[in-house]
Amino acid sequence: METQRENQDIEPINLDQELDLSESSFDDTGKKRKRTSVVWQHFEEKSFCGEVKAVCNHCKARLASGSTVGTSSLLSHVRTCPVLRTKKKSPVITGDGSIKHGAYSFDEGNARKELAYMIILHEYPLSMVDHLGFKRFCNSLQPLFKVISRSTIKRDIMKVFECEKGETMKLLQMNKSKIAITTDMWK
């Protein structure tokens, strides 16, 4: 009677269920051993339908794994992984101006915003985005960045202007004193 009750509590096994085996693996004698290859920082070993596979942490690709397979195919995948190809190990400049080394993933929206800020800050002509040299330079830095047209950069600059105008108006409204604004125009 007790064994029937215990059997009722056991859930059926789903053959597609992923079993996490990434902490360690078993050698031929059945003893646990640690993974020593650096490739295991990018993979988890899981069992699918009775087969052990290495699953890429980035693109979720399943590759052959086990004690007899080795890690050369996994290392080859890390070199060609489509998700890792868009990430680079390069310095990143933080908001306070310091440089942080680490993983970088390309954000086209941020690149367009920074291009708009650069044009505003240095008063470059909008036509610079049409120059062949500028296009080649951008492509050499980041091939995924599609250089935009003059009208698109103008719209981006106007968005920055509207945002900054709103922030300035908030600051002026919070100020309790009187403000005088003058300009000099030289030609």
Cα radius of gyration rounded to whole Å, the chain:
28
SS3 17: coil
Boundary-marking domain end, from 84, 104, 124: 84
Residue of 175 and 187 predicted with greater confidence: 175
In a domain, 79, yes or no: yes
State the DSSP H helix or E strand holding residue 33, giving kind and residue range, or none if neither.
strand 32-33
Q: What is the mean pLDDT of residues 152-174?
A: 93
Residue 179 lies in a domain: no
pLDDT at 3 over 60: no
Chain-centroid distance of CA 53 in Å reads: 25
Q: What is the dihedral of CA 183, 184, 185, 187, to 10 degrees?
A: -170
pTM of the model: 0.45
Average the pLDDT over 3-28 and give the result: 42
Reply yes or no on whether the pLDDT at 12 is more than 70.
Answer: no
Side chain identity at 135, as an amino acid letter? K
* pLDDT above 70 (res 28): no
Residue 70 inside a domain? The answer is yes
Cα atoms in the 13 Å half-sphere on the side-chain side of 60? 1
Provide the mean pLDDT of the chain.
77
Q: Are residues 96 and 170 in the same domain?
A: yes
Domain of 139, in residue numbers? 87-174
**Whole-number percent of the chain with pLDDT over 70:** 71
Domain shared by 130 and 64, yes or no: no
How many structural domains comprise the chain? 2
Is residue 132 domain-resident? yes
For residue 185, being part of any structural domain is answered with: no
What is the distance between the alpha carbons of residues 63 and 53, in angstroms, rounded to a whole number?
5
End-of-domain residue from the set 29, 53, 84: 84
pLDDT at 13 over 60: no
